[in-house]
Amino acid sequence: MSGVVFILVVLILIIILLASCVKIVPQAHAYVVERLGAYQQTWPVGIHFKLPLVDKVAKKVILKEQVVDFAPQPVITKDNVTMRIDTVVFFQITDPKLFAYGVENPIMAIENLTATTLRNIIGEMELDQTLTSREVINTKMRASLDIATDPWGIKVNRVELKNIIPPAAIQDAMEKQMKAERERREAILRAEGEKKSTVLVAEGNKESAILEAEAEKQSAILRAEAQKEKMIREAEGEAEAILKVQKATADGIRMIREAGADEAVLKLKSLEAFEKAADGQATKIIIPSEIQGLAGLAASAKEILK
């Protein structure tokens, strides 16, 4: 009976030992395996088997991108201003073997390397430049850290300055400067608004004056056209009256000719025309010599008509 129990115990131990030799590597992980204390291989994702009591999983490595937030570090700018800056580093393990054997404590090594790199970069910049050049600082730090961590199997993807904390006196001065700048911008905006309002009023007045002048111009043109039309109509009326008088005179002369009147009668009619002309406003009348020679004839004709 005791022999059977012993066999069962041995079988159970063998099963446990064999089960411990089966390893499953999950997604985004890698296992560094040592054989008798020396590096053997790196297991990727999947199921693997190791020799019992000979092989050992020395390090389990996470291949996903990781984020480390380091505490604020004191730095001094080029113009001797001391400030505190905390950084955030985004990195990813690309070579599990180098990560396992490259450096004793990779995270602490990255933190110290970040602090020294940050001091070197900030030491070459003045305060104002530091506050306005975050992207430049991030780029320089990422490039430096990526080169330094490459032998450790680590790739630095990004470095971000989380906070820049200047001294209290500098913060007060910056707040006063910002307040003065806001007041200056407000004054500029107010002045520009008043200027635009004045310009709009002036343009409105100008447009109103132009419209009034245009209206006056149109009114003058209409009055001139009306006066011109009136004068044309008056001239046409006078011309029509003169034509009617001339036509009547011509008709009278024609009738006299048709009645057989002689040259003397025609000349008498001419005298009558001058008589009518004398009734006008003229103060001087010139009578042709032919008509003067007939004055006696006119007197004789007048006696006959009586």
pLDDT by residue for the chain (306 residues), tens only, comes to: 577 777 888 788 878 877 778 889 999 999 999 999 899 999 999 999 988 888 899 999 999 999 999 888 889 888 888 888 989 999 999 999 999 998 889 999 999 999 999 999 998 988 888 888 889 999 999 999 999 999 999 999 999 998 888 877 777 777 777 788 888 888 898 888 888 888 888 887 888 888 888 888 888 888 888 888 888 888 887 878 778 777 777 776 677 666 655 555 555 555 555 555 445 454 554 455 544 544 444 444 444 444
C-alpha to C-alpha distance for 261 and 275, rounded to whole angstroms:
20
- Are the C-beta atoms of 84 and 75 separated by less than 8 Å? yes
- Are the C-beta atoms of 290 and 306 separated by less than 8 Å? no
For 54, the token pair is 């000979």
Measured in whole angstroms, the distance separating CA 127 from the mean position of its chain's CA atoms is: 33
Domain 66-166 has CATH 3.30.479.30: yes
Q: Where are the beta strands (DSSP E) in the chain?
A: 22-25, 29-35, 38-43, 46-49, 55-62, 66-69, 73-76, 82-93, 154-165
Q: What is the residue extent of each domain of the chain?
A: 16-62, 66-166
Tokens 């008709």 sit at which residue?
251
Tell if the pTM clears 0.75, that is, is over it. no
- Are the C-beta atoms of 42 and 32 separated by less than 8 Å? yes
